[in-house]
Amino acid sequence: MACLDRPLLLKYDEASMRIHDIFLKAWNLDSFLKHYSKNANDPTFRLIIASDGTITRTLQVLHLSPIDLEVREQSKVHLDPEIAKYLEISDPEKVISRKVWLKKAHQRLLYASTILAFSQRDQKILKEILLKEKPLGLLLEEYQLPSLKDKLTIGRLVHPRIAEGLGLEAATELWARHYRLTIQESIRASVLEVFSPAAFRTA
């Protein structure tokens, strides 16, 4: 993916998460690593932003602290056609939109907006998600569910409401990533994660 240097579109559709409309600049993983091989940068930042593991566990290990879930919004929704195409699915049994903060103590480290598409056989983990008690990554570990991330895009964005929710100025440029998550070959999710600079500070 080429780096995008055009202005952020003001009409940001958070539900469908059209990535070319939300990123000021964007890279796939290979172009990101190539770009930052020529630019000095914090290795902790690179580890977090390019991590293939669950972001909850990654933050726990780096911060040596429990990571808590704060659910901003969660609801059943209709699957947006563009997201269906991105996920390469059709007619799932249930679709959930989930918007959360991940926190260390009272400090928000990350905002995540996820569209989860379930089949009928996934009722157990669906029930756990609806309880709004645990981050998705911890549920995957708890139930020992195999998962795969692909279609990763790493970029910079400006979103006033998210920035302010992270305790930052509204115009702050934030690092983010967007990817497809496949769980046990029957659950697919479109995931947008937006990072506070505090997520990369572990000292």
What pTM was computed for the model? 0.86
The owner of tokens 């240097």 is: 5
In the CATH scheme, what is the homologous superfamily, with its name and number, of domain 33-146+178-200?
Chorismate lyase-like (3.40.1410.10)
**19 vs 188: CA distance, rounded Å:** 17
Residue 19, pLDDT above cutoff 70: no
In this prediction, residues 73-90 reach a mean pLDDT of 88
Confidence of residue 13 (pLDDT cuts 50, 70, 90): very low
In the structure, what pLDDT confidence band is assigned to residue 37 with cuts at 50, 70 and 90?
A: low
- How does pLDDT run across 113-167, given as a tens digit for each residue? 999 998 766 677 777 887 778 888 888 888 888 889 999 999 999 999 999 999 9
Buried b or exposed e, range 156-190, using 16+ CB within 10 angstroms: bbbbeebbebbebeeebebbbbbbbbbbbebbbbb
Domain boundaries, the chain: 33-146+178-200
Query: Per-residue pLDDT averaged across 11-40, rounded?
Result: 66
pLDDT digits (tens, 9 = 90+) for 54-78: 899 999 999 999 999 999 999 989 8
